[in-house]
Chain A
Amino acid sequence: MARSVTIQRKSLNTLIAWIIGLLLFFPILWTILTSFKTEAQAIADPPVWFFFDWTLENYRVVQERSNYSRFLWNSIIIAGGSTILGMIIAIPAAWSMAFVPSNRTKDILLWMLSTKMLPAVGVLYPIYLIFIQLGLLDTRIGLTIVLMLINLPIMVWMLYTYFKEIPGEILEAARMDGAGLKEEILYVLTPMAIPGIASTVLLNIILAWNEAFWTLNLTAARAAPLTAFIASYSSPEGLFYAKLSAASTMAIAPILILGWFSQKQLVRGLTFGAVK
Chain B
Amino acid sequence: MSTKASRSAARLMLAPAVILLLGWMLVPLTLTLIFSFQRYLPLRGGFQGWVGFENYVRFVTSSAFWPSVQATVIIVGGVLLITVTLGILLAILLDQPMWGQGMVRILVIAPFFVMPTVSGLVWKNMFMDPNNGLLSHLWRSFGADPIIWLSDASMLSIILIVSWQWLPFATLILLTAIQSLDSEQLEAAEMDGAPVLSRFWHIILPHLSRAITIVILIQTIFLLAIFAEIFVTTQGSFGTRTLTYLIFQRVLESQNVGLGSAGGIYAVILANIFALFLMRIVGKNLDR
Contact = CB atoms under 8 A, between A and B. Distances in A.
Contacts of B274: 117
Contacts of B108: 20-21, 24-25
A89 B17 contact: yes
Interface string A38-49: 000001011100
Interface in A4-28: 5, 9-10, 13-14, 16-18, 20-22, 24-25, 27-28
A110 B100 CA distance: 39
Nearest to B242: A121
Nearest to B90: A20
Interface string B144-169: 00000000000000000000100111
B191 to A, nearest CB: 13
Given A10-B97, A266-B172, A271-B218, A212 B125 contact: no
B257 A45 contact: no
Interface in B63-113: 90, 93-94, 96-101, 103-113
B196 interface: no
Main secondary structure of the interface of B (DSSP, over half): helix
B204 interface: no
Interface stretch (A56-64, A136-144, A193-201, A245-253): A245-253
A121 B222 CA distance: 12
Contacts of A216: 117, 227-228, 231
Interface in B114-155: 114-127, 131-132, 134, 137, 140-141
B252 A129 contact: no
In which size bucket is the chain A interface? Answer: 35 or more
B264 A129 contact: no
Most buried by B among A10, A31, A108, A230: A230
Interface string A235-258: 010000100110010011001101
Contacts of A234: 120-121, 124, 231-233
A1 B113 contact: no
Contacts of A118: 25, 29, 268, 271
A95 interface: yes
A156 B18 CA distance: 11
A32 B48 CA distance: 53
Contacts of A206: 113
B51 interface: no
A212 B252 contact: no
Contact of A28 (B105, B111, B247): B111
Most buried by B among A18, A46, A121, A275: A121
B227 A213 contact: yes
Interface of B: 1-2, 6-7, 9-11, 13-14, 16-18, 20-21, 24-25, 27-29, 31-32, 35, 90, 93-94, 96-101, 103-127, 131-132, 134, 137, 140-141, 164, 167-169, 172-173, 176-177, 180, 183-184, 187, 210-211, 214, 218, 221, 224-225, 227-228, 231-233, 244, 247-248, 251-252, 257, 260-261, 264-265, 267-268, 270-272, 274-275, 278-279, 281-283, 285-287
